Every structure is written in structure tokens, then in C-alpha cells.
Structure 1
């Protein structure tokens, strides 16, 4: 391999049986997921910190639990990139360049809107996870595919819980 094809410093060049193309493509599929995980984590914590209303305790606990799961996934995704010989995010600026989850800096968001927005973000994240899974499958990277399968399941669970918690009953805000 030529030096120009290798994007990793020699000290970080983790041995792998995957081709350089596979490492590059899988890393390129995973790094935006790492960025979106950071963005989704912070948005979930933002809403956790700023939720109010009659279902405060339930929503506060739900969002905290979901944030913890998202945060735990960040390290697993980033370390997978490193295990296969790629490099991952280095800064908040790098996160901002790669993230597709939009920030919400509003001074106040009604609780149901918080849950619905996070539900849509999680649905979009699931789509991105599935696309990354296709890349892992293309290069026979079963370990990355397995991680992504677990993340898809966890993200679908978050989406389901957010959907159920945000449903309106009898015309009242849930």
C-alpha cells in the first residue's frame, strides 16, 4: 500500500485482515454514527434537563435512561473503528462536521414535542445504522455487523418507548 492510501499514523496502524478499502469504507460509515450518537446524547440530556410538566418524573427518568444507553454506544462504535485500523473523531468540531442529528437550542420545548423530536431522530439513526450494516456486510465484517444489529435493536426500542410516551390520550398531552 502506498503512503497516500494509508490515512493512519504508523503508531496507530492497527493490524487487521480487512483490506484498506474495507477499513476506509467501514470507518467512513461508522464515524458519522459516532457523531450522531454524541449529538443524540446531548439532545437527549438537554431534554432530560429541561423537561417540565405533569409527567416530569416519568419523562425525566426515561430520557436519562436513554441518554445512558446512547452514551455507552459511543465508545463501542469508536473503538470498533480503531480495532479495524481506522481513526475516529477527535473533537467537537469533527462531530459538528459529521452529525446529521440537528441540535435543538430552543429556550423551551413542550414535553410531547421533545419526545416526538427524539423519536424522529432515533428513527433516522436506525436508517443510518442499517446503511452502515450494509457496508459491513459488503466487506464481510461480521463483528461490525453484529454490533450494528444490537444498536439497531436498542434504537428501535428507544423509538418505541418515545412513541408510546408521546401518545395523546383523550386529547390531553401525554
Structure 2
């Protein structure tokens, strides 16, 4: 295929961003990032849910902590989705798509104690960090250093959230 033919094919292919990565790499990394994006939205909404429904003597501290954490989690969504597009993949299109892909569990309980909220979010953030590590390993396999680099910062942030939730839930 000549360069002119390749250029014409790229122009004719909707949403096919040119990339140096193999088709297999684009498919596999995009799929994993979309699952990670679904988990990000699930974790964000659960964190906001607990922020909104916090109660008890530590209300203010926990309410503010969870708001900060939710903002940090939400800040991941656009870079993940844009990374999928930069790779040449397509990303989530609806809340239904999120529900089909998410691995983190929702909690629709009428009431959750503050201690249980912190413990559940702690475990979710730990799980989220582990999922990102697995995605990082996949990126390493395909030499996708740009995605791996983004993940490293987000893993550190998830570990920090886990630590804060652990310490906030401890009793002296």
C-alpha cells in the first residue's frame, strides 16, 4: 500500500486515529482503558453518594475528604477517554455501557454507616489501583509508554486515597 493510499484510507475511516501501535495493541489497550473508565465513573459516583449521605460526629471531615477524593477521581475520566481516542479506539458512549463494563460494585443501600462507607471506599480504591497496575502491565507488553506514564500517577493517587480512608476509619 502506498503512502497516498494509506493517507486516503485514514481519511475515509471514521474515528480511526493514526497510531504507531499495532492494531492488536489498540484493540486490547482501548478495551482495558474503557473498563477502567467504567470503574472510574462507578468509583466517582459511589464516592459522591457517600459524600452526600455522610452523617455522624465526623460529618464535616469525612464530607470534605470524600468531596476532594471524588474530584480527584473525576479528573481521571477525560484523560482516560482521550487516551483511548489518541490510540485510535472508541470510548464509552452511555451509562448503560458503563454498567456493562464496570467491575467495582455499586451500593444502593438506604443507609450505610460512616465506618462502612470509609471501609468500602478504601477497598474499592485498593482494587482500582490493582486494576490500573494490570492495565500498566498490558501497556508495557505493547510498549505504550504514554498510557503507562498516565497510569503511574493515578495509581499513586489511588494509593493515597486508600491510605487516607484507612487512617480516617481507625479508632484510637
What TM-score do you get using the length of structure 1 for normalisation? 0.91
Kindly report which structure 2 residues correspond to 1:76-155, keeping only aligned pairs within 5 A, or say none: 76-155=79-158
Aligned twin of 1:30: 33
| 2:44 is aligned with 1:41 | yes
More helix by share: 2
Q: Using the alignment, how far apart are the partners of 1:130 and 1:94 within structure 2?
A: 23
Unaligned runs of 5+ in 2: 1-11
Aligned twin of 1:69: 72
Aligned twin of 1:6: none
CA RMSD of aligned residues (A): 1.2
Deviating above 3 A after TM superposition, structure 1's stretches of 4 or more consecutive aligned residues are none
Q: Could you give the per-residue CA deviations for residues 100-155 of structure 1, whole angstroms, max 9, x where no partner exists?
A: 11111111111011000000001111110000000100000000000010110000
Number of residues of Structure 1 aligned to a counterpart in Structure 2:
162
Q: Using the alignment, how far apart are the partners of 1:168 and 1:106 within structure 2?
A: 24
Aligned to 2:25, the other structure's residue is in SS state helix
